[in-house]
């Protein structure tokens, strides 16, 4: 994959601070467009049409090439190679990569695998990394929403969004802290078929964390709370969702949307 702009950041640290820039190898700038996917099918005996299990998105390996930023100093010294490798590889984990092409509005989570140094002369050249993507798409910056519903004696309306152009329904992370003597929490998504997300019979003052995507619940009491839950995980339709919240609480919502470019 190539980029029009030469600047980038990894885990918030700028490429200029490491003396390197992105380079395109060749005359054309090749960029990913959309999300690669394939049909998962099984051939059934005596049937012309295979049975379909749906579609599976493919992980895209992204080649990234860098060179020195200063045309008068193109040599990669030993010290620079050590420093740049530590920056890009991290602790052998996926890092946040942002190209200036997208103004940090889209984040690629990459693992910089082995690099190939094209050493033209005297340690001057281009380093190309074969980067494995964590997801088959980019991600938006993390969006945090906080709602102080301490005085919610009946119900209050809030809005939550799903900005993804990859998934029709998005499952955010949410956390609520019960206020006062309140022992229940309920949300009705009036945008998504009036779906009800509800906890009952909790402990006053309890804080509940819910990972709706992976279907996990954690309580500040340490008690299992699945039996207190109606098992209707929160799902947001594309665009703006009108949510009615019942019960006095402090509500926090964390979202990070899959984005296809």
Sorted by sequence, the CB contacts under 8 Å of residue 221 that are 6+ apart come out as 203, 206
What is the arithmetic mean of pLDDT over 21-27? 79
Q: Residue 260 has which token pair? A: 């296809």
Burial of 109 (C-beta count, 10 Å sphere; 0-12/13-18/19+)? middle
pLDDT for position 31: 66
**Helix (H) / strand (E) containing 237:** strand 236-237
CA–CA gap between residue 89 and residue 62 (Å, rounded): 15
Please work out, in degrees rounded to the nearest 5, the angle formed at the alpha carbon of residue 48 by the alpha carbons of 42 and 51: 30
Please write the tens of the pLDDT for every residue from 64-114. 999 999 878 889 999 999 999 899 987 788 999 999 988 778 999 999 987
Burial of 156 (C-beta count, 10 Å sphere; 0-12/13-18/19+)? middle
Q: Is the pLDDT of residue 28 over 70?
A: no
Lowest mean pLDDT among 45-54, 139-148, 186-195: 45-54
Please write the tens of the pLDDT for every residue from 195-232. 999 999 999 999 999 999 999 999 999 999 999 999 99
Burial of 230 (C-beta count, 10 Å sphere; 0-12/13-18/19+)? exposed
Predicted TM-score (pTM) of this structure? 0.84
CA–CA gap between residue 106 and residue 104 (Å, rounded): 5
Q: For each of the domains in the chain, give its residue range(s) and CATH number, in order of start.
A: 8-139 (2.40.30.200), 143-259 (2.60.120.860)
């Amino acid at each position: 994959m190539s980029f029009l702009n030469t600047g980038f950041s990894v885990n918030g640290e700028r490429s200029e601070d490491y003396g390197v820039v992105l380079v395109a190898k060749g005359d054309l700038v090749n960029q990913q467009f959309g999300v690669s996917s394939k049909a998962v099918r099984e051939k059934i005996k005596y049937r012309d049409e295979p049975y379909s299990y749906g579609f599976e998105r493919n992980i895209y390996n992204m080649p990234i090439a860098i060179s020195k930023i200063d045309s008068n100093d193109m040599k990669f010294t030993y010290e620079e190679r050590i420093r740049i490798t530590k920056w890009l590889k991290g602790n052998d984990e996926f890092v946040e990569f942002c190209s200036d092409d997208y103004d940090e509005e889209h984040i690629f989570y990459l693992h910089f695998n082995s690099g190939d140094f094209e050493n033209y002369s005297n340690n001057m050249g281009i380093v190309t990394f074969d980067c494995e993507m964590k997801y088959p798409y980019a991600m938006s910056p993390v969006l945090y929403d906080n709602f102080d519903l301490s005085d919610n004696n009946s119900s209050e309306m809030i809005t939550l969004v799903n900005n993804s152009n990859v998934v029709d329904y998005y499952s955010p992370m949410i956390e609520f802290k019960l206020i006062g003597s309140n022992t229940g929490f309920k949300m009705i998504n009036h945008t998504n078929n009036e779906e009800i997300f509800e906890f009952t019979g909790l402990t006053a003052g309890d804080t509940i964390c819910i990972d709706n995507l992976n279907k996990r619940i954690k309580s500040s009491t340490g008690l299992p709370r699945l039996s207190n839950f109606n098992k209707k995980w929160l799902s947001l339709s594309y665009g703006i969702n009108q949510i009615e919240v019942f019960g006095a609480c402090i509500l926090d919502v964390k979202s990070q949307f899959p984005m296809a470019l």
